Structure 1
Amino acid sequence: MSSIKTSIFKVTAEIQSFGGKLVKLQHTSNETKTDMDVNVYLPAQFFANGAKGKSLPVLLYLSGLTCTPNNASEKAFWQPYANKYGFAVVFPDTSPRGLNIEGEHDSYDFGSGAGFYVDATTEKWKENYRMYSYVNSELLPKLQADFPILNFDNISITGHSMGGYGALQLFLRNPGKFKSVSAFSPISNPTKAPWGEKCFSGYLGQDKSTWTQYDPTELIGKYQGPSDSSILIHVGKSDSFYFKDHQLLPENFLNASENSVFKGKVDLNLVDGYDHSYYFISSFTDVHAAHHAKYLGLN
C-alpha cells in the first residue's frame, strides 16, 4: 500500500533513495488525451517531522530524445543535492505514449519519445502532441493539488538536449514563472539544427515564422521579464552532436544574449572530454543544483 496519498495521480512505485523517496506517478492528461507517467523525487525534508504546512521549492527537469521519466531519475543523481538544499524534482515524460499514430515510432528523433515541448498544429499530431501545454499548464497545477507541501510558485527549470532546449524555451516564454534556468547540452537554436528542423516541420508545418516562437535563440532578444538570474549551460566538447553534427549551437544563443536583458549573464561552459551522455550530466549536477538553490532561496 502506498504511503503517499494522492487523488489525481496513481502511485505506481515508491523507491527510497538518498534519504528521500522517488515516487512514480501516472495520470490521464487532458492535453495529450493519454495516460502520462511522471516521476517526482521528494527530499528527506518532505517527510521530516513538522514538515506539514512548510513549503518546499521545486526543480523541473526536462529530458531528451527517447527518454522516459526513469532515465534522469536513475542516472542524473539529483537526489543527494535535492536533499542537501531541500527541493523536490519533477521528471515528466517526453511525449504521449501508446497512440500508434502512423509514423510515430519510425525514428528516435520524431514522434514517440520526441515531443519537442511544442503544441503541434499539423493535422496528424495536433490532437495529442501538446507537450508544451501539458508540462506548462496541466502537469504542474495537478501536482500542486496533490502535493500541497510543494511550492510551484517557487520553481526553477533545467533539462538535457531536447530537454535543455525545452527548459530555455519555457523559461523565456513564461517571464517570471521560473526563478532560474540551466541546461545540459541544449539544442540552443533549433530552427538552424537538423533535429529542430525535422520536429518543427513535422509538428508545426512549413511556415518557419511559427517555429521561432519555440527557438531560445530567437526568444532571448524579445524577453522582457525578470533577469536577476544568470543562465547556466554546460556542453561537452567531445559531444559529437556539438562538434560534428552541429545540433546544439550554444554559441548562437550566447551571441543572441548580447542583445538582450541577459547580456553578460549567460554562463556557457564548454568542457573538455565530456560527451552527450548521463555520465556528463551527472558530473555537473552539483553545479546546476547549487545554481538553482541560490535563486530558489536555499543557499
Structure 2
Amino acid sequence: MTFTTDTSISSFGGKLLKLSHDSPVTGTKMVVNIYLPHQYFDDETTKLPVLMYLSGLTCTPDNASEKAFFQPYANQYGFAVVFPDTSPRGANIEGEDDSWDFGTGAGFYLDATQKPWNKNYKMYSYIMKDLIPQIASSYDTLDTHKMSICGHSMGGYGALMFYLRNPDVFQSCSAFAPITNPSECQWGKKSFSNYLGDDKTLWAEYDPCDLVKKFTGDKRPILIHQGTADAFYAKDHQLQPEKLVNASTQSPLNGMIDLHLVDGYDHSYYFISSFVKEHCQFHAKYLGLN
C-alpha cells in the first residue's frame, strides 16, 4: 500500500502534504497530513527526525495543520510533523456518528475488542503497525527511528499512552491538556466500556496512570501544559494532569512530569499555538537537534 498525495501546500518554506491510503488494519481509507520542512527539499541525503502529533476529540488532521503552527519550528529545527486522523471514518457501524465523544472522530487510539467496533476501530495498531511503517517505506529521508510524540486532549492521552508503552519507539513525549486518567473520567469510561468492555485490566493497558507505574524506558521528562481556564479541567474534571504526577511517584519517572498550569488559557488551539514553541524546543532536544 502507498500514500496518495491529495494536496500539496507550501507553508513556512516547506510543504504540507494531505495524504490518503487504504489501511488493512482499519479496513477503511485513512487520511493523514505530513509537514515536510525546507530541509527535506534542501538536502536529500540527510535523514530528518519525526514528531507525531495526535489530535483530540472531533478533530481531523487539518485542525492542527492549520491552527497549531508547528511549521515554523519544524523548519527551525529540521523535523517533519505527522498528523494522523482520530478514528476510522465511513466504517458504517450503527451508532458511530450518534455522539461527538464516541465513534467517528473519537477512536481513543486503542484497539477495540468489543463487537462491532473491533473490526475497524484499531487505532493503536493502525499507528504502530501501518502508519509508521508506511512513512518509513514511502519517505526514505524521514527517520522513524528518531521519533517523538505530542498530542492534545484525547490526543494528549494518546501521546502519553503510546510513549509509556513504547519507550523504544519514541524519544520524548509532551501533551497539551491531556486526558491522563481515562479510566476515571466520563469521556474515558464511555469509550473504554464500549470499545474494551467491562474488563478493567484491559482499560489499564491504555491508562497513563497505570502505565507510568510500569514504565521501563529512559528517565526523561514529560512536558505538559494545562490551561487553568479550560472548562474540561476546571469544571468537568475530564482532564486531571495532577493524577499522572501523583501516579508517577510510584514509578521510575518520579519527579519527571513537568506540569505547567498556565493561567487564563482554555482548551482551544489559541492555547496550543501559544505554547507550541516550548514543545517543539523540548522535542528538538531529545531528537538531537539542539
TM range (shorter): over 0.9
Matched, 1:36 2:48: no
- Look up the match of 1:275: 266
Matched, 1:254 2:248: no
- Look up the match of 1:118: 110
Letter in 1 for 2:283: H
- Look up the match of 1:206: 198
Report 1:101-140 matches (<5 A).
Answer: 101-140=93-132
CA distance in 2, matches of 1:204, 1:36: 22
SS at match of 2:223: strand
- Measure how far apart 1:264 and its partner are: 1.1
Per-residue Cα deviation, 1:212-269 (whole angstroms, up to 9, x for no partner) = 1000011001111222x21000000000000111101100000111111111111000
Identity %: 61
Matched, 1:56 2:48: yes
Report 1:185-196 matches (<5 A).
Answer: 185-196=177-188
Stretches of structure 1 lacking an aligned partner (at least 5 in a row): 1-6
Match for residue 235 of structure 1 among 226, 232, 235: 226
- Look up the match of 1:45: 39
- Measure how far apart 1:177 and its partner are: 1.1
CA distance in 2, matches of 1:111, 1:251: 28
- Look up the match of 1:169: 161
Number of aligned residue pairs: 290
Letter in 2 for 1:74: E
- Look up the match of 1:3: none
SS at match of 1:27: strand
CA distance in 1, matches of 2:76, 2:44: 19
- Measure how far apart 1:77 and its partner are: 0.2
- Measure how far apart 1:136 and its partner are: 1.5
What TM-score results when the alignment is normalised by the length of structure 1?
0.96
What TM-score results when the alignment is normalised by the length of structure 2?
0.99
Letter in 1 for 2:242: E
Letter in 2 for 1:152: T
Matched, 1:285 2:276: yes
- Look up the match of 1:151: 143
CA distance in 1, matches of 2:176, 2:274: 11
RMSD: 0.7
CA distance in 2, matches of 1:76, 1:137: 27
Matched, 1:26 2:17: no
- Look up the match of 1:4: none
Per-residue Cα deviation, 1:71-105 (whole angstroms, up to 9, x for no partner) = 00000000000000000000000000112211000
CA distance in 2, matches of 1:234, 1:45: 29
Which segments of structure 1 move beyond 4 Å, counting only runs of 4 or more?
none
SS at match of 1:180: strand
CA distance in 1, matches of 2:3, 2:137: 10
CA distance in 2, matches of 1:52, 1:247: 44
SS at match of 2:146: strand
CA distance in 1, matches of 2:80, 2:44: 15
SS at match of 2:149: strand
CA distance in 2, matches of 1:25, 1:194: 33
- Look up the match of 1:15: 9
